Amino acid sequence: MAVAVLSIVPSFHLSAQDTSAIDRGVRIGIIYRPGVRPGLVMLPRTGVGLDSVRAIIARDLDYSDRFEVITLPGGDSIRLATSSSTPTRGTGTRRSGTGTAATGGAQAGTLNYPLYQALGADFALDITAAGDTTVATLHDVAAAGIRRAVRVKLPRPGDPDFRQAVHRLADQTLLAALGTAGIAATRILFVKDGKVYQIDQDGAEQKLVSSSDRQAMSPAWASDGRRFAYMEFQAGKGWLYLQEMGSGKRTAVSTTGSALDFTPAFSPDGQTLAFSRATEEGTDLYTINVKSNCCLRRLTVGRFSDNLSPTFSPDGQRIAFVSTRPGLPQIYVMAADGTDQQLFAPFDYGVTGSSNAPEWSPDGQSVAFHRDVAGTLQVFVLDVRTRTVRQLTSVGRNEDPTWAPDSRHLAFVSDRSGYRQLWIIDLDTGRIRPLLQQSGARLPAWSPRLSEAPSTTP
């Protein structure tokens, strides 16, 4: 099947992924000083359950790369009790996500604030149970009081939405501490052995989401996180499908063609799907209204060049894409109606290698892509305002970056560990962690924030 596809489309059209090695090999262009992030400590608890909840939340907050997570010396030997006269901040309540956030969820005077301040903690998080309710109490150590307590009723461990509910609680905690939206309640789609899988951002809960007996490629999330688009091979051709995440119901996209359609990308409003179409005359970009399943529109006319791999800007006004009009494929941009096509990512003619797989960041400020550097692929980021590029990776083969909804983390494929697998990089600190330590993963696509579980009703 792969041979058949590559015989129709040049190899750069469906660029796969490879990877490279551990926390080295990163060129971020910033100087990071450890200790400048706020310190956070998870308070020890014994005999009250919720161990799995604490473990998931602790990992989520660590993976947010916004805290210095402090490991307590001696664990349970740290004394929690202190004077009951410790003041508590705030009096109000508010609704937040899956539960009610209230400032009075834990009693003042239950934390030895001077001790935790001496340990370097700015925040302390206590996870407790009150009947069937889980309470996450965030202490502001410097202010010696409770910042917020979030109360939620979690599904039972093992239930389909249990881990995502815990991830959402972690995101609420991050929002309470720093006023920043988290990415714990997100998932990543990827392709392995011709099938589409999903995995939580912490590397757990891998699950097959496409058909087990068809070859699938190029998954792309809709902005609501409730469906995705992908390409499926049938009878030597590529067909586009939409699939509901909850029910698994899939719908063919009527592109009215019999060519190879691939690399779909949703517009921000979810009504339009841009995609690449390869024919004997070349490869060009099209859009179709998937809400009405009509109105096919051609955006590019190759004239001896190929145009592919579209990605919408967050405002829906522009599309970045790959074009071979300069010879080797490079990153171009145009208006969403196909007008005003121009070079986007600068390159040195005859020196710079091929550039592929662009993806616009959710904040609209950057476009990530991979570029051939001395015969191997590396991840780059284009600054949309200045149109300058910087190289992020340097060890191994690194491909197909995809943005987290915080526009700070990227998932990508790298063979830095000796085989091709999924990795995540934090652009602020340069930290790299493996997401999926399995060989053969390709074409990752990071979801938007998943505020609630998708319905399982067809």
pLDDT at 328 over 50: yes
Question: Are β-strands 272-279 and 282-289 bridged in parallel, bridged antiparallel, or unpaired?
Answer: antiparallel
Structure-block tokens of residue 447: 């979801």
pLDDT at 71: 83
pLDDT at 312 over 70: yes
The number of helix segments (H) and strand segments (E) in the chain equals: 4, 31
Handedness of CA 234, 240, 242, 243 (dihedral sign): positive
pLDDT at 232 over 50: yes
In the DSSP assignment, the letter for residue 75 is G
* Side-chain-side CA neighbours of residue 31 (13 Å): 0
* Cβ atoms within 10 Å of 317's Cβ, excluding its own: 12
* Cβ atoms within 10 Å of 56's Cβ, excluding its own: 21
Question: Are β-strands 123-130 and 133-140 bridged in parallel, bridged antiparallel, or unpaired?
Answer: antiparallel
Cα→Cα distances 274→277, 306, 357, Å: 10, 15, 14
Instruction: Considering only residues 336 and 254, tell me which one the structure prediction assigns the higher pLDDT.
Output: 336
Go through the domains of the chain in sequence order and give each one's CATH number: 2-30+186-446 (2.120.10.30), 39-178 (3.40.50.10070)
How many residues are listed for the chain in this entry?
458
pLDDT at 269 over 90: yes
What span, in angstroms and rounded, lies between the C-alpha atoms of 83 and 86? 6
What span, in angstroms and rounded, lies between the C-alpha atoms of 78 and 76? 5
Amino acid at site 27: R
What span, in angstroms and rounded, lies between the C-alpha atoms of 417 and 167? 28
216: confidence class by pLDDT, cuts 50, 70, 90? very high
284: confidence class by pLDDT, cuts 50, 70, 90? very high
Q: Write out pLDDT tens, residues 104-119.
A: 333 444 788 999 999 9
pLDDT at 437: 85
pLDDT at 159 over 80: yes
What span, in angstroms and rounded, lies between the C-alpha atoms of 304 and 281? 8
| Strand, coil or helix: 177 | helix
Name the residue among 189, 169, 83, 88 with its Cα closest to residue 129.
169
* Side-chain-side CA neighbours of residue 243 (13 Å): 23
Return the minimum-mean-pLDDT range out of 106-120, 301-315, 359-373.
Answer: 106-120
What span, in angstroms and rounded, lies between the C-alpha atoms of 144 and 123? 10
pLDDT at 385 over 90: yes
| Strand, coil or helix: 103 | coil
47 Cβ contact list (under 8 Å, min separation 6) = none
pLDDT at 192 over 70: yes
Q: Write out pLDDT tens, residues 425-437.
A: 999 999 999 999 8
pLDDT at 245: 92
- For residue 233, the cross-strand partners are 238
pLDDT at 83: 42
What span, in angstroms and rounded, lies between the C-alpha atoms of 79 and 294? 66
